[in-house]
Amino acid sequence: MNKKGSKKHSYIHEALVDIRLSWRLYKSNFKVFLGAQIISILVYTFLLFPWELILMFFFGIDFNYNITLLLNIRSLIGGFLISIFFGSSFGLSYDIMSGGDQFTELRGFFHYFKQYWWQYILLSLLLVSGTFLSSFIYGLFFSGPIEDALYVLFLNITIIIIYKVLMYFWITIILQTFPSLTSQGSIKNALHENFKLLRVNSKRILSSLLLFFLIFNFSWTLLQILDLSMRILAVEMRWVWYQNFIQSYSIIFPLIQFLAQTIFIFLLAIPMLALVSTRIYNSLKMGDNKVEE
């Protein structure tokens, strides 16, 4: 095999090692991640789920206060808390991979929460700012009335794919700042180190995170596209049985989707992302780009 081919093989191999190793460490520290993510899920569900709207819609309860304002305030507080919890997962991963004992404890979650709370908020804002661009694209496509259902389906799928690809690149650019923050202790140094690592090892970081996204994000996207396609095709092709099926479960479906997505993201994707990112950071820091089994 020539040198270029061998290097390509090495990136694929590295990406596989990242996922395998992170999965092993995730399993051995499952209880801690479970505890930490249950706290996140409870906060997320309590603060970001529109309870009032559900109660109003299904039980006809009338609230005297301004629900929109309350939801906005709750969303803001919830968003900040979730950002800190997200960052603290990277702190836990850092403990596991760089602490020396390959394990962490739940109190570490609160320790990182207290120590880096405002840095995590800033970094998370930077991380999600990339999604604003895709919302803008969505707005451009859907600025006028569209009659053709199949055209809507085509547009939706295209936008979802563009959104996911942009999200992947944006997250890849920023992500190494999180493990670097725990290591460097300063947001300025972490950002500087992140871009330095990215400049020198862009292919390594891109390939490892691409594998992560294929497994943990794009798989979910395929389900989203399938669901959307079925709904639109059911209208277009007059699949009455499918429309009846969807309508009869109109309450349960969104709830199941919300629960499944929440559990998948919080319990699996976030801890794995933190572990994979920390593993990439550590291997790049030790200059070990050729891991051998």
Given the rule CB under 8 A, which residues bind another protein?
17, 21, 28, 97-103, 105, 279, 282-283, 285-286, 288, 291-292
| Nearest CB to another protein, comparing residues 52 and 105 | 105
Say if residues 87 and 119 touch (Cβ distance below 8 Å): yes
DSSP string over 137-163: HHHHHTSS----HHHHHHHHHHHHHHH
Spatial CA neighbour of 168 closest among 221, 119, 123, 121: 221
| Nearest CB to another protein, comparing residues 140 and 286 | 286
Task: Quote the least distance from Cβ 212 to another protein, whole Å.
Answer: 16
Distance CA 215, CA 193 (A): 27
| Nearest CB to another protein, comparing residues 45 and 289 | 289
Task: Quote the least distance from Cβ 121 to another protein, whole Å.
Answer: 28
Paired tokens of 86: 């997200």
The crossing angle, in degrees rounded to 10, of helices 252-263 and 30-48 is 140
Distance CA 146, CA 154 (A): 12
Task: Quote the least distance from Cβ 279 to another protein, whole Å.
Answer: 7
CB atoms under 10 Å from CB of 188, counted, come to 9
Paired tokens of 218: 């794009």
Q: Is the dihedral of CA 237, 229, 255, 27 positive or negative?
A: positive
| Nearest CB to another protein, comparing residues 33 and 44 | 33
Task: Quote the least distance from Cβ 176 to another protein, whole Å.
Answer: 14
| Nearest CB to another protein, comparing residues 100 and 144 | 100
Task: Quote the least distance from Cβ 59 to another protein, whole Å.
Answer: 45
| Nearest CB to another protein, comparing residues 96 and 167 | 96
For 100, 215, 251, 277, the CA distances from 207, given in Å and listed in that order, are 27, 13, 40, 12
Task: Quote the least distance from Cβ 97 to another protein, whole Å.
Answer: 5
